Amino acid sequence: MPTGKHFPDWRACDEPHLNDWLNRPREGVLFDVAHNDFWLTEWGDRPSDLAEANVIVNRLIDDAPKLIPIYMHRMMPSEPSTEGNPVFSVHQTDIIAYGVDLTDYFAQEFTFTEDEKDDWTLPHNVRPIRFWDIDRFQDTRWGDDGSCVFDNSPGILP
């Protein structure tokens, strides 16, 4: 496991700090539900009461695969428990693929030169992950013209 700045310290970090890392995806989705009217149509009708909406979203996230922090806000789903899980960049509900698997992610993030990074495009053929389907999140978050439909004020994540 890599160590250093922006990597979770799975060996020596205290439990509350690790729980903060693990809870960031939930906090990000709840933030956008509360402040940016984010709501996926498959969740049904959005309750007018924010507390009720949060109950629904929390239940869905509880049932979803956990996102395991890798580096900064790059995360990998805990399920399925097989090779080939994608690595996502997760900033609130702005969730995109950063690698088709862990090896691909590390190559993209850490081994390209700056010139090579200019030529790199995000992977398109990533394994779909229950709840964390990045296409659904992106379709809801971004308008047809590619502009963010949310207030782009700073969110809760660094």
> What are the tens digits of pLDDT across the range 16-42?
878 888 899 999 999 999 999 999 999
| pLDDT of the residue at 142 | 66
Angle of helix 15-35 versus helix 50-63 axis, rounded to 10: 130
Tell me how far apart the alpha carbons of residues 158 and 141 are, in angstroms, rounded to a whole number. 19
Tell me how far apart the alpha carbons of residues 8 and 89 are, in angstroms, rounded to a whole number. 15
Confirm if 148 and 141 have CB atoms less than 8 A apart. yes
The SS3 assignment for 5 reads coil
Mean predicted lDDT score pLDDT of the chain: 80
Confirm if 88 and 76 have CB atoms less than 8 A apart. yes
pTM above 0.75, yes or no: no
Condensed to tens digits (0 to 9), the pLDDT of residues 93-115 reads 988 888 888 888 888 777 766 66
| pLDDT of the residue at 133 | 72
Break the chain into its structural domains and give their ranges: 15-141
Q: Which spans in 11-78 are helix H? A: 15-35, 50-63
Nearest of 21, 30, 84 to residue 53 by alpha carbon: 30
Residue 71 has pLDDT above 60, yes or no: yes
